[in-house]
Amino acid sequence: MWTGGVAFYSVGGVEGWGREAAVRGYLISVGQFEDLVAQEMYREPGAVGIDVDAVVREGMVRVGDGRYETVVCLGEREGIPVLTCTAPWDPATVELRRPAPRYLRMLVEGLRESHGWDAERIHSYLVGLPGIRGLWDAAELDALIREE
């Protein structure tokens, strides 16, 4: 659908960026999260089981070999585990693909809506990230961010 590279949370961090990422959270049930992970891997809802206690205890659990089947606990919020699914690889070890403009616009709108960031802050955040750095010209990225 996106016709290009997509974003993943890097468990080990990204050189020059550490482990922090601008995110948006949703309060969903474990079953809904399991369905989300299954759907990201083009599987039927209910096809993936996740032991949340193990994820919280270990920090990360692989529930399959797919690109979104590494479940990571990012901490807790109000006593509720904050989980995400991501790829098991280090971005420095794989060939990164240029994200499609449509995909980047979705990320830009998410940063505006969930964090209230302006164009300059969004550009500053995105421009140095793997998958953007070296694949998107800074001026081209700026123009995309400023599109209405």
Domain boundaries, the chain: 8-87, 101-146
Instruction: For residues 58-85, give the mean pLDDT.
Output: 92
Question: Contact at 8 Å (CB) between 125 and 117?
Answer: yes
Q: Is the pLDDT of residue 15 over 80?
A: no
Overall residue count recorded for the chain in this entry: 148
User: For the chain, what percent of residues have pLDDT higher than 90?
Assistant: 61
Rounded to the nearest integer, the mean pLDDT of the chain is 89
**How does residue 110 score in pLDDT terms, banded at 50, 70 and 90?**
very high
**How does residue 55 score in pLDDT terms, banded at 50, 70 and 90?**
very high
Q: Is the pLDDT of residue 13 over 70?
A: no
Question: Contact at 8 Å (CB) between 126 and 132?
Answer: yes
Q: Is the pLDDT of residue 62 over 70?
A: yes
Q: Is the pLDDT of residue 19 over 70?
A: no
Task: For residue 144, give the amino acid letter.
Answer: L
Residue 68: count of CB within 10 angstroms of its CB: 22
How much is the pLDDT for 1?
Answer: 60
